[in-house]
Amino acid sequence: MGALTLTNVAKSFGATDVIKGVDLQVEDGEFCVFVGPSGCGKSTLLRMIAGLEDVTGGDVKLDGVRINDLAPAKREIAMVFQSYALYPHLTVRDNMGLALKQAGVPKAEIAAATEKAAAMLSLDALMGRRPSELSGGQRQRVAIGRAIVRTPKLFLFDEPLSNLDAALRVQTRIEIAKLHRDLGATMIYVTHDQVEAMTLADKIVVLRAGRVEQVGRPMDLYNDPDNTFVAGFIGSPQMNFLKGGPLGLRSDTLGIRPEHLTLGAEGGQIAGRVSHVERLGGETLVYVHTEDQGLLTVRLFGEHHHAVDSAVTLGIDHARAFHFDAAGLRLR
């Protein structure tokens, strides 16, 4: 079991409030991702769950048991950091089994646990190597293996892919998703990368300035955001926001995703000129400068050719648009 409950959880550093009354339920076996811009409090919240930061107010409960005052080692929680934090003088095998050795677990049990974790992470052939002989992706897998052998109730990941290059990030992201399916364990994962959030999560928690803006499944947040912050943060390229007045709309702001704008030479609702084109093979992003709405992004699937500075008009799929009031809240 590994159900986590946060009730009015708060954290202050002196007079500065960084976590401002967070309520959250993470179900047993769920993959939950905390996402938000730098400084929103997501890593601080994760460290509070782990016991590495004191809780100023509220309750943290694991399987119904309040753990606020428990030492990190007593919480049955394993954490994987952005830095691998491996001991350079120990082999992969010894790094993975160190926590069990320090806990007095018999050697045979340590060997069985490390071999099982190594098989899950394709580390079998690397068990005798030291960290300096491993790639960045291999080191991160060792750090994950070190967490697995402890059989915790809850896994915490703090931006574990940040130090990897783009190809390794994708590969390791797939491995973490498979690991979650194989273990059926509860996992909480912190990232500023909304693509990671969308591809890994059962549930996403969007944070801003120490508060929860919205909680939901990835596509629910994409298709049904509560406000302009969530609408703009979830999705890449991000949503276009248009001033409702010039379009004769009832709302202050109209949100429209790049794939829901059409681009043509005439017949659209918004006139502009092509400012820049990014041809990515499978899709083409066209940036259009408009007089009333500024720079807008259009996503076209496949290869398209539009000359920079050419005159175009944009059409809006109003059935797929979002309306927001002056405070940025969704009008439904």
Identify the pLDDT of residue 166.
Answer: 81
Identify the pLDDT of residue 264.
Answer: 84
The per-residue pLDDT of the chain, averaged, comes to 93
pLDDT classification of 9: cutoffs 50, 70, 90: very high
Identify the pLDDT of residue 271.
Answer: 94
Q: Which amino acid is at 223?
A: N
Identify the pLDDT of residue 303.
Answer: 94
Average the pLDDT over 309-318 and give the result: 94
pLDDT classification of 265: cutoffs 50, 70, 90: low
Q: What span, in angstroms and rounded, lies between the C-alpha atoms of 163 and 168?
A: 10
The pTM assigned to this predicted structure is 0.91
How many CB atoms are located within 10 Å of the residue 78 CB? 23
Whether the predicted pLDDT of 92 surpasses 90: yes
pLDDT classification of 249: cutoffs 50, 70, 90: confident
Identify the pLDDT of residue 194.
Answer: 84
What digits encode the pLDDT tens for the residues 101-126?
Answer: 988 999 999 999 999 999 988 899 99
Say if 4-230 and 237-331 have the same CATH topology: no
CA atoms within 13 A on the CB side of 284: 15
DSSP 124: G
Alpha helical stretches, state H, the chain: 42-50, 92-102, 107-120, 136-148, 166-183, 194-200, 218-223, 228-233
Least confident of 63-67, 193-197, 208-212: 193-197
Range 237-331: architecture per CATH: Beta Barrel (2.40)
User: Alpha-carbon torsion 308, 310, 311, 316, what sign?
Assistant: negative
Average the pLDDT over 72-94 and give the result: 90
Identify the pLDDT of residue 184.
Answer: 92
Contact 179, 173 (CB under 8 A): no
Whether the predicted pLDDT of 252 surpasses 90: yes
Q: What is the residue extent of each domain of the chain? A: 4-230, 237-331
Whether the predicted pLDDT of 314 surpasses 90: yes
Whether the predicted pLDDT of 4 surpasses 80: yes
CATH number for region 4-230: 3.40.50.300
**Helices 166-183, 136-148: crossing angle, 10 deg rounding:** 20
Identify the pLDDT of residue 250.
Answer: 80
